[in-house]
Amino acid sequence: MSTKPPASGARVFIDGEAGTTGLEIRERLAAEPAVEVASIATDARKDPDARRALMGEVDLVVLCLPDAAAIDAVGLADSLGNRAPRIVDASTAHRVAEGWVYGFPELDSAQADAIRAAKRVANPGCYPTGGIALIRPLVDAGLVPSDHPTTVNAVSGYSGGGKAMIESYEVAHTAPAFELYGLGLSHKHLPELERYSGLKQRPIFVPSVGNFRQGMLVSVPLHLDTLPGSPSAGDLQQALEAHYRGAALVRVVPAAETAKLNGRLDALALNGTDKLELYVFANDASRQAVLVARLDNLGKGAAGAAVQNIKLMLGL
C-alpha cells in the first residue's frame, strides 16, 4: 500500500490522489524525503472500510474530494478515536467550520503556529487566497474599514474548475475563450473571503475563467478618497510590505518594479511555483488604486498551500 518509509516515519494519505489537486500534492511530496505517501489500491479508492483502515495507519490525511465526500471522510477519521490522523481538507466543506484552522499561514503573526498545533486544517480556496492576502493587511492596519464596500474581481485558468471544466477545454473544446461566472453573487468562496479578510460587509466577488490551464490574477479596486484619512498608494504599499516581511512564499512587489510593467500583468508568470505576488497599481491624479495578487491556482492556490500546511503540521 505504500513505498519505503522515510527516516522520520511521517506518513501521509491523499484521499482523492487521482484528481488534479491530489496529483499536484503527490508530486510535491515526492520531493520531501521526510514524508512517505501511503496509497490505496485503485479498486479500493471508494471503499470506506479500506480508506478508514489506511487512515488509522498514517499521521496525516489530505482530502482532495468534493465537499460531501470530504465531510464523509472526516466522519471516517473521527470514528478511529484516538487513532484518528490529522487532516488537511482541500475542499470547501470546512473553511469556516467550527474547530478547523484556516490554512493561510501568512494571515497574521499567529496563524502559522495555529496550523502547527492544529488537528484539522482547511486549505484556502484559490480566489480567497489572493483576495484575503490583499485585503486583510489593510483592514488590520486601519486603512480599509471592516465595513467598507469591497469588490474582488478574478480570473483563473480552467484547471481550477475541476474535471468537467478541464474536459470542456482540453477534450470537447466546447468552452468559450473567456467567461464570467458566479453572477448570482453567491459563489462558494464568499464565506471564507469575507471572514478571513476581516470584513463585516459581504464583498462583491466576480470570478472568471480564461482559456489557459493555470494561472490566476485577483484584483481589488479602491477609491482612495473614500477611505479614512485618504491614504496614498504608498500607504497601501507600506502596509502590505510590513505584513509580509519575512514571508517565504509571499512577495510584495516594490513600487518601482511595478511601475516598469506599464500597467500590464501576465496571469501565467508564476505557473509551476508556489509563490504569491502582490502589487499596488495606482493613479495619483484620480486617487484610485487597484491591488492585484498573482499566483498559480494549482500552486499557492491549492497544492502548494496544502504542502505548506502539511510541512508545518509535521514539523518539517
For residues 65 and 286, give the distance between their C-alpha atoms in angstroms, rounded to a whole number: 46
Which residues face 219 on adjacent strands? 153, 292
For residues 70 and 97, give the distance between their C-alpha atoms in angstroms, rounded to a whole number: 13
Cell of 162: 475541476
pLDDT at residue 140, as a whole number: 98
126 noted as active-site residue: yes
Residue 235, SS3 per DSSP: helix
Q: Is the pLDDT of residue 6 over 70?
A: no
| CATH class of the domain whose range is 10-124+302-314 | alpha beta
Residue range 209-259, pLDDT digits in tens: 999 999 999 999 999 999 999 999 999 999 999 999 999 999 999 999 999
The active-site residue out of 122, 126, 224, 250 is: 126
Q: Is the pLDDT of residue 1 over 70?
A: no
Which residues face 218 on adjacent strands? 154, 293
What is the reported pTM? 0.94
What kind of fold does domain 126-297 have according to CATH? Dihydrodipicolinate Reductase; domain 2 (3.30.360)
Domain ranges in the chain are 10-124+302-314, 126-297
